[in-house]
Each structure stands twice: as C-alpha cells, then as structure tokens.
C-alpha cells in the first residue's frame, strides 16, 4: 500500500498531490491511502477513519526524528526513480510535491473530477451559484478572474503580484477577444483580499469560502489570472479553459487558453 502521510501545501496543492499518487496506484493496481487528506475529506465526501489524524501526527513526528523511513518526492528529475520504488515496495509511506504522472491524471480526469467534486450541500443554496444558473450561456461567457494577492506579495520576490489596474487591463482585452465570438463577458472576480474593482453590470464579486470559490470557478467558461494551482484545479475538475499571465505585458488571445490535465 502507498500511503501519503504528510500533505504538501494548502488546498489545491494537496488535491494535485493526491491525484498524481492516486492515478499512479490506480494504473499500477497498487492499494492507496491518503490519511493526510482527512481535514479536507468532508468537502468531497471522502471516507474518513478514526486512525487518520493520529497516524499522520505520529508518522510525521517519527519521520522528523529519522526513526521512520518514507519516500520524500520533492526533488526534480527523479520521477523514474520514484516510480520504480513505488512499484517495488509493497508498503511505502510517501510525501512531497514533485511526483507527477500527467499522462495518468489526464487519463483518469473524469474519474477524479467526479471523486473530488464539491458536495452539493456546500453550494446548492449559495446565492451566487443560483445567479449563475440564470445566465444565458449562449450569449454570455462567464470569465472567472483570480486576483491572487496574500503571499504573492513576497513569493518569488513578488513576481506574480499585480495591482488591480493590471487585472482590469486583461479584463478589457478579454472583452475584446470575446467580441470575436459574438459573446459578451460576465466577469466573476475571486480574491483573497479587498480589491478596488467595483461590482456592477457585467462584474460580479464572489465573497465565499475558498472551496465554494473554487467550485464556482469550475463553472466558468474561462479562467484568467497569474500562475496558481487554485485556478488550475478549477480548470481540471471543470475542464475550463484558463490562461495564466506572467507579467503586465502579456496579451490575451483565446487561442492560448487550454484546460489543465493534472
């Protein structure tokens, strides 16, 4: 059995961590468990067991003391080595972020989109979700705009931290692109802090918990923002085309949009 005993990152990172290990195990016919996912399991209806939390606490403690052995998949360029060990070992504790099997997450995309779909109880009575159901999708394209702030102010020296006018610039370019498709945009903005962009006709602002925001993103037609696994996960489960701009000088082109495969 392959068991993830330590989570990598928050929310979206953990979802991607689990599907890459799980996809490999599914393909190889290896048993798989992720007790480290226990605190997020309720959102997706994933089974929890009483041993999950104490197991991870003890395993992490012993691993730090180098008493317990585990495979830490955090190094670049070692994918083949990681896969060989996973096939060889009958029981192995794993952790880390750099284990990637994109061909398999693409193969099992529909399976994971169903398994890790947010349960309806978390969004079915949400006012913004209900509003979106009334939008005429034949005439309107819903564009999810992820204004990522918070840790982006310092992460990679603020490389992907942009002020509101830059997002407005890309929204304007997106509107011009959508005219070519005879659709008008409805911008649905998601942010983890206050923004200066005002809500109004054609611009809605979500003020929901992260898991509802991510689900609402997955219901959009396009996703736009700086590089982030948050939008990538929404793209993956919803097969929504996304574009990540990396500077203030990028140009929006619908031909550059694609959906995430894992």
Q: How far is CA 213 from the centre of its chain?
A: 11
Res. 132: pLDDT tops 90: yes
Output the pLDDT for position 157.
84
pLDDT bracket for residue 23 (50, 70, 90): very high
Res. 196: pLDDT tops 80: yes
Is the separation of the CB atoms in 105 and 262 below 8 Å?
A: yes
- DSSP symbol at 143: E
Output the pLDDT for position 221.
98
Q: Rounded mean pLDDT of the chain?
A: 95
Rounded average pLDDT over 191-196: 90
Q: Class assignment of domain 120-256? A: alpha beta
CA nearest to 229, candidates 121, 124, 152, 117: 152
Rounded average pLDDT over 19-30: 96
CA nearest to 234, candidates 212, 249, 205, 250: 212
Count of H-run helices and E-run strands, the chain: 10, 9
What residue ranges do the domains of the chain occupy? Answer: 2-115, 120-256
Three-class SS state of 6: coil
Res. 257: pLDDT tops 90: yes
The label of the residue with tokens 């085309």 reads 241
pTM metric for this prediction: 0.95
Cβ neighbours of residue 122 closer than 8 Å, sequence gap 6 or more: 43, 211, 212, 215
């Amino acid at each position: 059995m392959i068991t993830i005993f330590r989570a990598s990152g928050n929310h979206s990172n953990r979802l991607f961590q689990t599907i890459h290990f799980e996809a490999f195990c599914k393909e190889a016919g290896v048993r798989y468990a992720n007790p480290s996912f226990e605190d997020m399991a309720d959102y997706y209806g994933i089974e929890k067991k009483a041993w999950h939390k104490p197991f991870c606490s003890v395993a992490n403690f012993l691993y730090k003391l180098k008493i317990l052995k585990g495979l830490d998949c955090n190094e670049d360029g070692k994918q083949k080595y990681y896969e060989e060990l996973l096939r060889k070992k009958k029981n192995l504790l794993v952790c880390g972020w750099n284990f990637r099997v994109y061909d398999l997450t693409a193969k099992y995309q529909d399976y994971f989109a169903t398994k890790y779909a947010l349960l309806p109880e978390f969004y079915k009575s949400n006012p913004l979700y209900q509003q979106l159901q009334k939008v005429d999708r034949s005439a309107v394209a819903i564009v999810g705009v992820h204004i990522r702030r918070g840790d982006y102010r310092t992460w990679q020296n603020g490389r992907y931290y942009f002020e509101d006018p830059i997002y407005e610039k890309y929204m304007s370019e997106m509107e011009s692109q959508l005219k070519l498709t005879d659709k008008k945009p409805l911008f649905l903005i998601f942010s983890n802090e206050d923004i200066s962009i005002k809500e109004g006709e054609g611009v809605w602002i979500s003020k929901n918990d992260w898991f509802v925001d991510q689900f609402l993103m997955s219901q959009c037609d396009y996703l736009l923002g700086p590089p982030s696994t948050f939008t990538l996960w929404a793209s993956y489960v919803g097969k929504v085309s996304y574009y990540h701009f990396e500077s203030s000088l990028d140009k929006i082109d619908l031909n550059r949009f694609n959906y995430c495969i894992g």
